[in-house]
Amino acid sequence: MTSAAASPLPAPDAPPTAWIGHTLDGRYHLRDLLGEGGMGAVFTAEHLNLRKLVAVKMIHAEYTGNAEIAERFRREAMATAQIEHPNVASAIDFGPLPGGGAYLVTQLVRGSSLTDIINRGRMRWQAVCDIGAQIADALTAAHAAGIVHRDLKPDNILLEPREDGEVVKVLDFGIARVADQAQGTTPLTRLGTVMGTPGYMAPEQAMGEPTDHRTDLYALGVILWECLAGRALWDGGEMSDLLTRQLTQPPPPLAGEVVDLPVEFERIIQQLLAREAKQRPQTAREVRDALRALSRSVSPVPVTTLPPPSPTPTLPPPAAAPKNRGLTGFIAVFVGAALLIVVLWAVRQPGAEEPSPPPEAGERPAEFVPAAGKGGAGDDKSPGAGPSGPVPSASKPDLGELPAGLREPAATLLGEAKEGQFKAAEAVLAYEPEVDVPLWLHGLALLEKAESCEAKRAAVKRIAEANDRRGLPALQRLSKTSRKGCGVFKNKDCLECLRTTLKQSIDQLAALP
């Protein structure tokens, strides 16, 4: 890294890939190109002093000579640094580049984009409600700081796996323009009449009219609709065609596609998608509070599927009391005992799970432990269970490249013995510097500590993203988990929410050389 830091930086017109391997301001060593679009490129970088991975965004070479864009980028960097919120990728540093450009250092978010998740199919409305509330909370903080996103879309929203589920991170706040100019600054000239992404721009934004924070609320409505439908709302054709549909056609109703969607949720989305800004909710806070209230008041029977009330039937006259109360009582006791015997017989049939002993202190419940061989033969053949062959455990995985402090917990997590895995996971997640923990090992630790099915699904996706075969045995053991063991009668699949993701991840890693 010393030679990289001392080598001259690329020319202003060099492609983004030419920056990989160089160090900015003696602190940020650029490692990989994450993406390129709009006015800039984004890199993964290592903060050399803190040994921490960060994201570095730079203006494209062709814009470095434009003083207006450079000033806009500087102002946006300063404004983004003022947003302190758990659902916003926070700004860390800002500095100039040779040739008049600039770079912005932000928190590095590890997770899948909402675009990738939508492309896999429609999501459950409960999950969409939670995601929407987190996005609205981020918008509340941004709007309070005077920042309007103006390019809110699934590409700019990442879901980061955590022990208790997935946390939304909103990216790229204010890269296009500032909502209100700060006092004492010179207003910036408009670069064009339209800025944003077709399909997510509010009608007033697409027509080049003045915009405000309600523009972001329209984009949020589009995002929620697409999460529930699993497809684009305004898709196909030129921008003019998209705008024509937005102005002349109402959004397709979701009730017919999402059978259990609460009417309150669809009403919120329809209000967000109103063509006139004054007809939408007026603040992100209102939207956040409404979505949170909806999440807290989930009814077992969705509102949209409730049957119409029926007239109260006329009660028949009370029947005469039986003459032989003793015989009636005997028959009732006999029938109840017979039913109890039938239920017990059904539970004890082959394939039914024995009650699990209570978990030891510090360990997860046994029904969630990815132990090998726990499921029956029928479980292996059911959809989403993964390969039906034995879990490979022949060769010891190579851990030589890991730091000494990670080798022992890594070996424990890769082993088949349950004992000590929880503490090993805690050791991996607490290891510093974080940059030395490989992605596959971080995913294994999250999987071991996860308790809910959603948290396990997020960890499985993290392991698959690492694209390292060392994560395969753990996923295959997880796929062997019995499909019974949850619910009142212990007959429900504890991992129902992740079976499809698990099978896809296993197939992906198994195909690696």
Is the pLDDT confidence value at 157 over 90? yes
Annotated catalytic residue 164: no
Query: Greater confidence, 285 or 14?
Result: 285
In order of 250, 461, 474, the CA distances from 448 in angstroms are: 46, 14, 10
Please tell me the distance from the alpha carbon of residue 212 to that of residue 214, in angstroms, as a whole number.
5
Is the model's pTM score more than 0.85?
Answer: no
- pLDDT, mean of residues 269-296: 94
Query: Greater confidence, 30 or 343?
Result: 30
Radius of gyration of the chain (CA): 28
Grouping H, G, I as helix, E, B as strand and the rest as coil, residue 327 is helix
- pLDDT, mean of residues 301-316: 34
Q: Read off the pLDDT of residues 76-119 as tens digits, 9 standing for 90 and up.
A: 777 778 888 999 988 889 888 776 678 899 989 888 899 999 99
In order of 38, 42, 195, 255, the CA distances from 106 in angstroms are: 18, 10, 23, 39
- pLDDT, mean of residues 496-509: 89
- pLDDT, mean of residues 310-321: 40
pLDDT the model gives residue 489? 63
Candidates 393, 340, 415, 384; CA nearest to 481 is 384
Highest CATH level, class, for 2-107: alpha beta
Q: Which of 13, 93, 130, 151 is catalytic?
A: 151
CB-based contact 148:211 (threshold 8 Å): yes
CATH code, 113-179+197-304: 1.10.510.10
Token digits of residue 397:
């995985």
Judge residue 119's burial from the number of C-beta atoms within 10 Å of its C-beta, 0-12 exposed, 13-18 middle, 19 or more buried. exposed
Confidence band for 194, pLDDT divided at 50, 70 and 90: low
Tell whether omega for the bond before 433 is within 30 degrees of 0, i.e. cis.
yes
Read off φ and ψ for residue 423, nearest 5 degrees.
-65, -35
In order of 136, 335, 378, 379, the CA distances from 346 in angstroms are: 48, 17, 17, 18
Percent of the chain with pLDDT over 90: 28
Confidence band for 140, pLDDT divided at 50, 70 and 90: very high
Binding residue per annotation — 57? yes
Each domain of the chain, given as residue ranges in start order, spans 2-107, 113-179+197-304, 366-510
Q: Read off the pLDDT of residues 382-412 as tens digits, 9 standing for 90 and up.
A: 333 334 344 444 467 788 888 888 999 899 9
Please tell me the distance from the alpha carbon of residue 57 to that of residue 90, in angstroms, as a whole number.
13
Q: Name the helix (H) or strand (E) containing 166.
A: strand 165-170
Confidence band for 315, pLDDT divided at 50, 70 and 90: very low
Q: Read off the pLDDT of residues 203-235 as tens digits, 9 standing for 90 and up.
A: 988 888 888 999 999 999 999 999 999 999 987
Candidates 97, 89, 107, 96; CA nearest to 45 is 107
CB-based contact 222:118 (threshold 8 Å): no
Contacts (Cβ under 8 Å, ≥6 apart) of 387: 476, 479, 506, 510
Grouping H, G, I as helix, E, B as strand and the rest as coil, residue 115 is helix
